[in-house]
Amino acid sequence: MKIYVSGRISGLNQNLCRSVFDEAEQFLLSIGFDAVFNPMSTQGRFDTWEQYMRNDLKELMTCDAIFMLDGWELSKGARLEHHNAQQLGMIILYESERRNALVSEVKKIVADTLNISEEQITSKSRSQKLFFARMLTAVVLRQCKYSLQRIGTAINRDHSSVVYILRQHDIELSHNAKYKRWSEQIAEQIDRQNILNTDEL
């Protein structure tokens, strides 16, 4: 399945736009899409907005779905792409909805595996079990190409804490049998429930 990334580009810092679009592309590939069209890949090839839109709409016609980045409503081009996707009956995914749904699904699997509540994952508690729960959640989200900032928001921790948590994962896997077993169980559940599989769309 091929998906088109749609969002605001005009009037924004191009380096920031590229980072946002590239992150979305990696996220979509990580959850099972076969191919992603990233409009930032054509930057510099055309002279006018109209030329870009003609090319982008042509690319949209080759896709099965469209991924609307947050803030797409502020873009004339993205609104046009959204309208065309609606009229053609394409699958439409919205960034916040899809990312939040995935975070919720991962948290539920982690919580069920460790026999805790989902709310405890984002609590202030520093107990070892909850630390491991946050670590396991962070690792899965990182595998889905979530940025450190997004992971921090998901587990209610700052950037430096997320970096530390991710570094500790391999250490725990190598010498903590219980943690390794939890990690394997979570991987099995994610695979069994197909939460990263676009066939469910």
- Structure tokens of 39? 């409009």
pLDDT at 44: 76
Which of 32, 67, 89 lies at the terminal end of a domain, its last residue? 89
What is the number of domains present in the chain?
Answer: 2
Length of the chain counted residue by residue = 201
- pLDDT tens for 87-106 read 999 999 999 898 888 999 99
Residue 62 and residue 118 in one domain: no
The pLDDT of residue 199 is above 70? no
Mean pLDDT of 148-175: 94
pLDDT at 43: 76
- Give yes or no for a contact between 67 and 4, defined as CB atoms under 8 angstroms apart: yes
- pLDDT tens for 41-81 read 887 788 899 999 999 999 999 999 999 999 999 999 999 99
Residue 19 and residue 76 in one domain: yes
pLDDT at 16: 87
pLDDT at 92: 96
pLDDT at 11: 83
Name which of 64, 43, 61 is nearest 52 in CA terms.
43
Predicted confidence band at 195 (pLDDT cuts at 50, 70, 90)? low
Residue 38 and residue 111 in one domain: no
pLDDT at 192: 81
DSSP letters, 50-74, are HHHHHHHHHHHTT-SEEEE-TTGGG
- pLDDT tens for 107-152 read 999 999 999 999 999 999 999 999 999 999 999 999 888 889 889 9
- Give yes or no for a contact between 109 and 84, defined as CB atoms under 8 angstroms apart: no
Residue 104 and residue 184 in one domain: yes
Which of 29, 57, 89 lies at the terminal end of a domain, its last residue? 89
Which of 89, 123, 154 lies at the terminal end of a domain, its last residue? 89
Residue 66: C-alpha distances to residues 15, 77, 86, 145 (Å)? 22, 13, 10, 18
Residue 135 and residue 49 in one domain: no
- Structure tokens of 101? 């749904």
**CA-CA distance, 198 to 54, in Å (whole number)?**
28
Q: Which domain holds residue 63?
A: 2-89
Mean pLDDT of 186-194: 85
Residue 195: C-alpha distances to residues 53, 77, 87, 148, 190 (Å)? 33, 31, 28, 21, 6
The pLDDT of residue 200 is above 80? no
pTM of the model: 0.74
CATH number at residue 155: 1.10.1750.10
